[in-house]
Amino acid sequence: MRSKAYHAFEQKLIYFDDDVELIDILRACVIGGDLTENGSQHVLKRLKPTKHKHIARRQNSDGSRKLIINHLRSSVYSSYVKDIYEEVTEYFKTILKKASGNGFSAGRIVGEHSFKVDAKTILDLENWDSVCQMVTDSVFQSLETERSTLKLLEKVASKLGLDVAKEHIETALPYLETRHFLIHCDGKLTDEFKQNHPHIRCENDYLALDYTFICKYRDSVKKLIHEYDREVIRTNLLKPEDTMP
């Protein structure tokens, strides 16, 4: 048994993984010469100068091809890291909402993250589901303003009474935290992060976005969310219609 929220999380990862594998295959084709046209002035086959004006400036050389495909790979990998983090937060938001709609303790969900709501705002909401959505959005926004992935993971578990093993959080946490460096520092890691997580490879102080990192990132995060969902199902937080085999 699993939640529909976890099923949605898995489905998104399938599409993200397609992107990762496609760029890996495409890079192999470019580096292997499958898209090289000998005797042409253009860097790749099928390049049309009138249409592909920017890339047309590149020379027909192995160095140019490697440069552009590696840049594309880095862009895809960077998006992958950010997108998975967003899907993690979306999973948590959905579980909080569905749990509150199933009669789970409002005091536990809100906790120290209390807030004021205008009476008109409540009256304008169409149904109880909308009220739950508003409350969980506000609570989650408060969690995110703390700017700590660790606190986010711990407090979601605490609010919902989930017994998630610390080891799963500790394994996935450094991978999730790399999102912050990609967004705010262009991937440059701090000395503290590098010292605390030597297993995450860097090049000249920057996060090494390669296929190995992406696979470890995906596996650790997927395992973490699986553990959260296992606890969600074990504690009967959701209505039957919010779960599936």
Tens-digit pLDDT string for the chain (245 aa):
999 999 999 999 999 999 999 999 999 999 999 999 999 999 999 999 999 999 999 999 999 999 999 999 999 999 999 999 999 999 998 998 888 878 755 555 555 545 555 555 555 556 666 666 666 666 666 676 767 888 889 988 988 889 999 999 999 999 999 999 999 999 999 999 999 999 999 999 999 999 999 999 999 999 999 999 999 999 999 999 999 99
User: CA-to-CA distance for 229 and 5, rounded, in angstroms?
Assistant: 9
- HSE on the CB side for 163, CA within 13 Å? 2
Output the pLDDT for position 238.
93
User: CA-to-CA distance for 111 and 117, rounded, in angstroms?
Assistant: 16
User: CA-to-CA distance for 108 and 112, rounded, in angstroms?
Assistant: 9
Cβ neighbours of 228 (radius 10 Å): 25
Nearest to 220 by CA among 174, 158, 181: 174
Cβ neighbours of 232 (radius 10 Å): 25
Output the pLDDT for position 96.
86
Question: CA distances (Å), 108 to each of 113, 145, 149, 161, 195, in order?
Answer: 10, 19, 20, 9, 36
Question: CA distances (Å), 14 to each of 71, 154, 172, 205, in order?
Answer: 23, 26, 19, 31
Output the pLDDT for position 138.
67
User: CA-to-CA distance for 30 and 112, rounded, in angstroms?
Assistant: 54
- What is the DSSP-derived secondary structure letter of residue 190? P
User: CA-to-CA distance for 94 and 116, rounded, in angstroms?
Assistant: 22
Output the pLDDT for position 212.
93
